[in-house]
């Protein structure tokens, strides 16, 4: 019996051939039909965006002499920086400093107040905090233009008219609602287990805020900081109504003044536009990596 079992060969089970249509081959990728219409539309939209920027840059380098006789879409034959020099000689750095002060202080105060408010709303979970959050959301429905006359009256009565403080306070007030909304939705996505672990370790609310929430909420903080900075930097209505003297003039208002001073000097006007956009563009370059993740954070639920 043992010898018969030893001489017996075990045949492996036969495998049924698989239909090649059932599973794709390794490395085989499904081919999709190219969307030519969407591609053409994307290139057209890119041209619409790039063409004005290209025109502003090349025009700011043109000389004033013979400006209207040259082809406006071709690069200048003799580029010059005379327009930039003329702008820098007309108190540009004073206006730049005013814009930097107003923007930096407004963003710093807004982020500081809103991060604490958002943490309280998320962790408090009481009737008072829910009512406060609803009040913040109500601020999104108030248009800026509807408040300019009451703001002018109140700031004039307290002696803040024609000052940088008159620009900072309304900017902070109008930036708070959307900033709180973004930060609240982001902090809600932080796992509750992390908060419980901090609580078990005996951490206070302040320690939890600075050691846990701030590092994890950095993308959202960068996002709201860039968004608020862009709104304050480009603001025109508040500087136009709430300031008067050239000493308190900011860049958007100075561009309007430059347009009046350099009426026929178009290269100088566009040079002022380029110089006014450089600081906010540099700020965007430093925070662009976290901008997209912060904009989409908190809205996945």
Q: Find the mean pLDDT for residues 269-292.
A: 80
Q: Inform me whether the pLDDT recorded for 16 exceeds 70.
A: no
pLDDT-derived band at 130 (thresholds 50, 70, 90) equals confident
Q: Find the mean pLDDT for residues 179-199.
A: 89
pLDDT-derived band at 301 (thresholds 50, 70, 90) equals very low
Let me know if domain 91-296 sits in CATH 3.30.70.1450: no
In this prediction the pTM is 0.78
Q: Where are the domains of the chain?
A: 38-80, 91-296
Report the candidate in 97, 98, 110 with the shortest Cα–Cα distance to residue 227. 110
Q: Which of 1-10, 51-60, 85-94, 278-287 has the lowest mean pLDDT?
A: 1-10
Whole-number Å distance between alpha carbons of 27 and 37: 29
For residues 250 and 239, the answer to whether their CB atoms sit within 8 Å is: yes
Report the candidate in 261, 268, 234, 237 with the shortest Cα–Cα distance to residue 85. 268
Q: What is the pLDDT of residue 1?
A: 41
Q: What is the pLDDT of residue 25?
A: 54
Q: Find the mean pLDDT for residues 274-301.
A: 70
For residues 268 and 86, the answer to whether their CB atoms sit within 8 Å is: yes
Q: What is the pLDDT of residue 299?
A: 47
Span 58-81, pLDDT tens digits? 988 888 877 777 777 888 888 888
For the chain, how big is the Rg over CA atoms in Å? 30
For residues 258 and 272, the answer to whether their CB atoms sit within 8 Å is: yes
Report the candidate in 291, 296, 255, 285 with the shortest Cα–Cα distance to residue 90. 255
Whole-number Å distance between alpha carbons of 236 and 231: 10
At residue 160, the 3 state secondary structure works out as coil
Whole-number Å distance between alpha carbons of 273 and 277: 6
Q: Inform me whether the pLDDT recorded for 102 exceeds 90.
A: yes
Q: Find the mean pLDDT for residues 101-130.
A: 91
Q: Find the mean pLDDT for residues 117-129.
A: 87
Whole-number Å distance between alpha carbons of 229 and 104: 7
Whole-number Å distance between alpha carbons of 252 and 268: 15
Which residue, chain included where needed, has tokens 């109008």? 174
Phi and psi torsions of 161, nearest 5°: -65, 145
pLDDT-derived band at 199 (thresholds 50, 70, 90) equals confident
pLDDT-derived band at 265 (thresholds 50, 70, 90) equals confident
Q: Please tell me what DSSP assigns to residue 234.
A: T
Stated as kind and residue range, the H or E segment containing 130 is: helix 127-138
């Amino acid at each position: 019996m043992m010898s018969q079992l030893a001489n017996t060969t075990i045949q492996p089970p036969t495998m049924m051939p698989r239909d090649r249509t059932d599973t794709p081959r390794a490395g085989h990728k499904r081919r999709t039909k190219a969307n030519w219409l969407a591609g053409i539309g994307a290139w057209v939209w890119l041209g619409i965006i790039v063409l004005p920027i290209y025109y502003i840059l090349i025009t700011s380098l043109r000389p004033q002499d013979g400006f209207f006789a040259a082809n406006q879409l071709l690069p200048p034959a003799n580029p010059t920086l005379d327009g930039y020099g003329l702008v820098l000689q007309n108190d540009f750095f004073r206006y730049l400093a005013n814009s930097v002060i107003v923007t930096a202080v407004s963003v710093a105060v807004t982020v500081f107040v809103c991060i604490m408010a958002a943490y309280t709303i998320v962790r408090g979970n009481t009737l008072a905090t829910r009512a406060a959050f609803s009040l913040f959301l109500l601020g999104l429905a108030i248009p800026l233009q509807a408040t300019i006359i009451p703001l002018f009256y109140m700031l004039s009565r307290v002696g803040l008219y024609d000052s940088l403080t008159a620009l900072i306070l309304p900017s902070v007030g109008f930036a708070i609602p959307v900033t709180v909304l973004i930060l609240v939705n982001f902090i809600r996505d932080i796992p509750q287990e992390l908060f419980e672990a901090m609580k078990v370790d005996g951490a206070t609310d302040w320690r939890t805020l600075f050691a846990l929430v701030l590092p994890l909420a950095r993308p959202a903080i960068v996002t709201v900081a860039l968004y608020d900075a862009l709104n304050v930097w480009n603001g025109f209505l508040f500087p136009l109504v709430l300031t008067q003297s050239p000493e308190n003039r900011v860049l958007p208002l100075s561009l309007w003044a430059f347009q009046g001073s350099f009426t026929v000097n178009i290269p100088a006007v566009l040079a002022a536009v380029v110089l006014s956009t450089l600081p906010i563009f540099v700020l965007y370059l430093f925070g662009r990596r976290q901008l997209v993740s912060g904009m989409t954070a908190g809205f996945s639920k």
